[in-house]
Amino acid sequence: MSNPLIKLENVCFKYPNSDLEENNFAVNNVSLEIMEGEFVAILGHNGSGKSTTAKLINLILNADSGKIYVDGKDVCEKELSDEEAFEVRKKIGMVFQNPDNQIVATVVEEDVAFGPENLGLPPAEIRKRVDEALSIVNMKEYARHAPHKLSGGQKQRIAIAGVIAMKPKCIIFDESTAMLDPQGRKEVMNTIKRLNREEGMTVVLITHYMNEAQEADRVLVMKNGSVYLQGTPNQVFSQPDKLWSAGLEVPQSVELIDKLNKELSLNLPLQVYTQKECARVIMEKLTENK
């Protein structure tokens, strides 16, 4: 089995000058692994530590204790130089909530070129990367448009293209659909799935939308700064009581089956989370009881 692209061992972090109690860490003894090419969703209520964990991985924040490995390199072993930190950040791209905070140019293709230009790449390579990145996010026809005239979903896809053009090994999406309408969320999720399944990109999706987490290979649930649950979407979503205790909602299909089981003692399987699967198991039970 290949080595993990990202590995955390007993990582702790507390914000300085916070009102937290002495032992109440924002990230508390977190250990996890993310393999190359994997699509991992991280769920958690506000304040659960999910976004802080992402910032620790990308060296936006420095862990108080524990070990963090990125592509085999221990990024906590010593004080990293600016050059070493830059090399780590090149491997782990991040897309944040508000695309306006990541768009820096007045023309789409110039914005996407910003990262590769900072890498000191030759103009021909920059042109190639910009074209490839815009094609991947289905925004090539908007190359000469002004970003401020685009929709929220289109802006976020431009922000994603800017990260893709840097050719990282992994992209962390930190609540990247939180400010978008349903159509914008759909556009961005289609882009994320394409990156993972067609381009082989490692994806870490931090979200509170259950339907987004359902698309992942594996789901981690954080609570009070620690990893509370993890497994496949089926394994995690089949534990509604634990999800509720973590301050999360559950897929509507799981909630329906859970109520049917508790109120009618139907003993339906909870390992379903799509509407189609939910309808199928209910129909099978009704047919069985005829």
* Count of other CB atoms within 10 angstroms of residue 128: 14
pTM, two decimals, is 0.89
What confidence tens digit (pLDDT) does each residue in 63-113 have? Answer: 999 999 999 988 887 777 888 888 888 899 999 999 999 999 999 999 999
What confidence tens digit (pLDDT) does each residue in 210-246 have? Answer: 889 989 999 999 999 999 999 999 899 989 999 999 9
Which H, E and C letters describe the chain, residue by residue? CCCEEEEEEEEEECCCCCCCCCCCCCEEEEEEEEECCCEEEEEECCCCCHHHHHHHHCCCCCCCEEEEEECCEECCCCCCCHHHHHHHHHHEEEECCCHHHCCCCCCHHHHHHHHHHHCCCCHHHHHHHHHHHHHHCCCHHHCCCCHHHCCHHHHHHHHHHHHHCCCCCEEEEECCCCCCCHHHHHHHHHHHHHHHHCCCCEEEEEECCHHHHCCCCEEEEEECCEEEEEECHHHHHCCHHHHHHCCCCCCHHHHHHHHHHHHHCCCCCCCCCCHHHHHHHHHHHHHHCC
Mean pLDDT of the 15-30 span: 76
Mean pLDDT of the 117-132 span: 95
The pLDDT confidence band at residue 1, using thresholds 50, 70 and 90, is very low
Could you tell me which residues come within 8 angstroms of residue 250 by beta carbon, excluding any fewer than 6 positions away? 210, 237, 240, 243, 244, 258
Amino acid at 55: K
Q: How far apart are CA 260 and CA 267, in angstroms?
A: 8
Q: Is 4-250 a domain of CATH 3.40.50.300?
A: yes
pLDDT attached to residue 7: 96
Could you tell me the residue ranges of all domains in the chain? 4-250
Asked whether residue 195 carries a pLDDT value surpassing 50, the answer given is yes
Asked whether residue 20 carries a pLDDT value surpassing 60, the answer given is no
Asked whether residue 160 carries a pLDDT value surpassing 50, the answer given is yes
Could you tell me which residues come within 8 angstroms of residue 114 by beta carbon, excluding any fewer than 6 positions away? 104, 105, 162
Bridge partners of 32, per DSSP, are 8
